[in-house]
């Protein structure tokens, strides 16, 4: 596990097309353990698969729990295309789990699920006294410099052009 740093850090500029994927579940009827436990168990299984298969495109992920019986994952991907490719891959664990979920939980009254995908553009990030986390864990950390001491300064730097990736280049 990375060690905390004593200095304030910001992220390296992510390559164009880097995606943030948020996904979660909310237990709405906790007494229906069999209904939501299988959904809960599916996510760590997918994360283990993605950690073992970096070619799938996930850069980093963190599982989070909330006191309201909701759980979420914050993950960073090389691209939204990589994320969508993983989701549709019949040999990866997501598609079979999704098909099972949609078949079994048509009423969706015991557990809810959600997700959001963002292609990272203007952004800012800072951390201090902790290991790289979030975007800094996904794309790398660098020390705060005079131009990145404030959120406004970090946002200004995030608007500088980043090298294109295969997902963001126009077909030739």
List the CATH number of the domain containing 76: 3.30.70.100
Does residue 41 share a domain with residue 111? yes
- Is 41 within the bounds of a domain? yes
Q: How confident is the model at residue 159, as a pLDDT?
A: 65
Three-state secondary structure readout of 84-152: HHHHHCCCCCHHHHHHHHHHHCCCCCCEEEEEEEEECCCCCCCECCCCCCCHHHHHCEEECCHHHCCHH
Residue where one domain finishes, among candidates 71, 91, 119:
119
Same domain, 109 and 130: no
Query: Both 26 and 103 in a single domain?
Result: yes
Whether residues 102 and 42 share a domain: the answer is yes
Separation of alpha carbons 117 and 114, rounded Å: 11
Residue 69, pLDDT score: 82
- Is there a single domain that holds both residue 100 and residue 147? no
Judgement on whether residues 27 and 112 belong to the same structural domain of the protein? yes
pTM over cut 0.95: no
Bridge partners of 85? none
Sign of CA dihedral 44, 126, 22, 94: negative
Q: Which domain holds residue 134?
A: 9-15+120-158
Decide if 106 is inside a domain. yes
Q: State the pLDDT at residue 49.
A: 97
CA triple 130-51-33, angle to 5 deg:
90
Give domain status of residue 39, yes or no.
yes
Same domain membership, residue 93 and residue 127: no
Give yes or no: residues 128 and 95 share one domain: no
Regarding whether 134 and 110 lie in a shared domain, the answer is: no
* Domains held by the chain: number: 2
The pLDDT score that the predictor gives to residue 81 is 93
pLDDT along the chain (172 residues), means of 10: 76 86 86 82 93 97 89 94 94 90 72 85 77 80 86 76 48 42
pLDDT of residue 170: 41
Give 25's strand partners.
Answer: 71, 113
């Amino acid at each position: 596990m990375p060690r905390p740093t004593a200095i304030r850090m910001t992220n390296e500029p992510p390559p164009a097309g880097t995606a943030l994927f948020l996904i979660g579940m909310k237990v709405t009827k906790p007494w229906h353990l069999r209904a939501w436990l299988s959904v809960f168990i599916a996510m760590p299984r997918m994360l283990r698969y993605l950690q073992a298969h970096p070619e799938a495109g996930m850069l980093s992920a963190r599982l989070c729990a909330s006191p309201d019986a909701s759980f979420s994952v914050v993950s960073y991907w090389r691209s939204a295309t990589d994320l969508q490719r993983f989701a549709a891959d019949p040999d990866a664990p997501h598609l079979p789990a999704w098909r099972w979920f949609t078949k079994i939980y048509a009423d969706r009254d015991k557990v809810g699920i959600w997700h959001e995908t963002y292609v990272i553009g203007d952004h800012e990030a800072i951390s201090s006294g902790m290991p790289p986390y979030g975007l800094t864990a996904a794309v790398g950390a660098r020390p705060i410099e005079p131009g990145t001491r404030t959120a406004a300064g970090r946002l200004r730097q995030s608007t500088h052009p980043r090298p294109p990736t295969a997902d963001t280049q126009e077909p030739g």
